[in-house]
Structure 1
């Protein structure tokens, strides 16, 4: 009998770390590397461009802690906002990837199926009641997002989680929760309503280290859970019968992935407001670039960060001196993409 030989899937390489071996998708690694370079270039451009242009050399000098005449502009005005944008983009990118993986539907993202609207409803209600501290709002957003997700999950569960039912029920909840948010805004104080309206558009204007200090620790704490999620994606992507035969408890795994995605989306919403369509766009762009069977979490996170950083840079400079909320630009790109996805899914369904 010939000795058994391990078959390596096409497009993968074996990475050895001591006695451990890992399969690495070569194209996914290449895409992630390109995205890292693009993100670094976007960050430098973000710190350079503004009312006063700062040369890249001066930006690097400030980041290295050296004395520079542009230290105030870069370190105090632009860098804190950039850090918040990076963290928000990373969180939305991963959240969209996890939720789309569980739903097996590119239409499923936090801002489409009611999660962002749940976070917004509780946050705006709290603002109406006088709670406006940005150190508290992210936690309220998490509570609202988790509650909305639990309701969607509960109503969509019928002996299993059907993708189409999950998305449709989520859209229904999103509409209802948006109406509740509008009701709170009309009943509250005028100034608070104006503040809530700006927050609802998704904006990084005025965001800085206080928001980053809330968002960064939460993301760091969730890193081990994300490592588990990257592994769990493989089993969730299998059909239900195969996964069950392998001993996978699909209900628990799906619930864990959804809960992780909800927390990420809700915390990002609390920090910057509902920046629409980032969680919808980033995973699909990443998957098309990597051509992997599962949505790649790292590439989705990097894509989300690139989208938010570039969108906010354009929002600051496109109609200068007027600053647009970053959510306006992401919605301008994401809404047509959502319409295209719906039309495409209908045409595919009609031909099947």
Structure 2
């Protein structure tokens, strides 16, 4: 397969496959086009020329585009990229296409942390909810690690134990909702569906900044992550410090998932489907990080646009659309893996 030399520092470059570059550029272009379509859709479809004028600083729909629609589109793109990257992390670590935060219980753990903050402690501020989601997600990851990690790492064992822990946490979450005050329970139930509705710049500035920092940090550990994906023996012979790298990657993956969950609720199946779709598009071994992130951004942005359009003027939570799409994908994946 043909390769290209991509400069990464003065006097240094890395070889990347030409197909990976072309697919990544195509995915990025599709993300931009889908995001622009999202800016065009409000109560109805606005002309692209009017939206472009609004982005340029004028026009009758400037406030609608820049203050109401753009935060939602930015959140969809960045959150989708974060979920896609988180899925790539766990699928590389587990070496299994079912290894994603929503399957192994990390989404449920983050939701537990948010419910504890809302129903037990009684705080609803953005910072408190984000901290609760992060603590819940990290606690779930630690619990899964305690059961799954023995003398050697087993991805299949982690997935099975993660599914069991997720089921227990789902029961705990239902109990927390049932014991909550009615208005809090209604808000928590709606939030659990996963939605980007009503987000503004104040809601997303900190989460978006954190996710972008974590994605940049992933670039540094991308190489050892891919070495781990090809087996422990290869990783050791190439100088990878197994446990520190695994713990760092798990921490980044959990933080990405919990950050999205704290703002938009559990948006399922993006982290599961995006890495595998990206891998099949570029046709390489392992789960490449950039195609996974771009595919996640495209899936979430497109799903949110469908959620607003399909029953307009009534908008569905985006989690409903991702669940429908992801369920069909999961069924296809299970059938394929069994064969």
TM-score, normalisation: structure 2: 0.95
1:91 corresponds to which of 82, 96, 106: 82
| Residue in 2 that maps onto 1:291 | 283
CA contact (8 A) 2:85 2:215 kept: no
Mapped partners of 2:233, 2:55: distance in 1? 53
1:112 corresponds to which of 95, 103, 106: 103
CA positional deviation for 1:90: 1.1
- 1:105-254 paired onto structure 2 within 5 Å: 105-129=96-120, 130-254=122-246
| Aligned-partner SS, 1:222 | helix
Can you list the C-alpha shifts for 1:225-251, whole angstroms capped at 9, x where unaligned? 211222222321222223223332222
Mapped partners of 1:87, 1:134: distance in 2? 18
| Aligned-partner SS, 2:13 | strand
Mapped partners of 1:146, 1:11: distance in 2? 41
| Residue in 1 that maps onto 2:47 | 55
CA positional deviation for 1:224: 4.1
| Aligned-partner SS, 2:16 | strand
Unaligned runs of 5+ in 2: none
Can you list the C-alpha shifts for 1:110-140, whole angstroms capped at 9, x where unaligned? 1110100000011012111322223432222
Closer, same or farther: CA 242–309 of 1 in aligned 2, 3 Å: closer
| Structure 1, 243-252 or 310-319: larger mean CA deviation | 243-252
TM-score, normalisation: structure 1: 0.92
CA positional deviation for 1:210: 2.2
| Residue in 2 that maps onto 1:73 | 64
Can you list the C-alpha shifts for 1:161-187, whole angstroms capped at 9, x where unaligned? 111111000000111101111100000
User: Which protein shows a greater Rg?
Assistant: 1
CA contact (8 A) 1:62 1:75 kept: yes
CA contact (8 A) 1:124 1:185 kept: yes
Unaligned runs of 5+ in 1: 1-9, 348-352
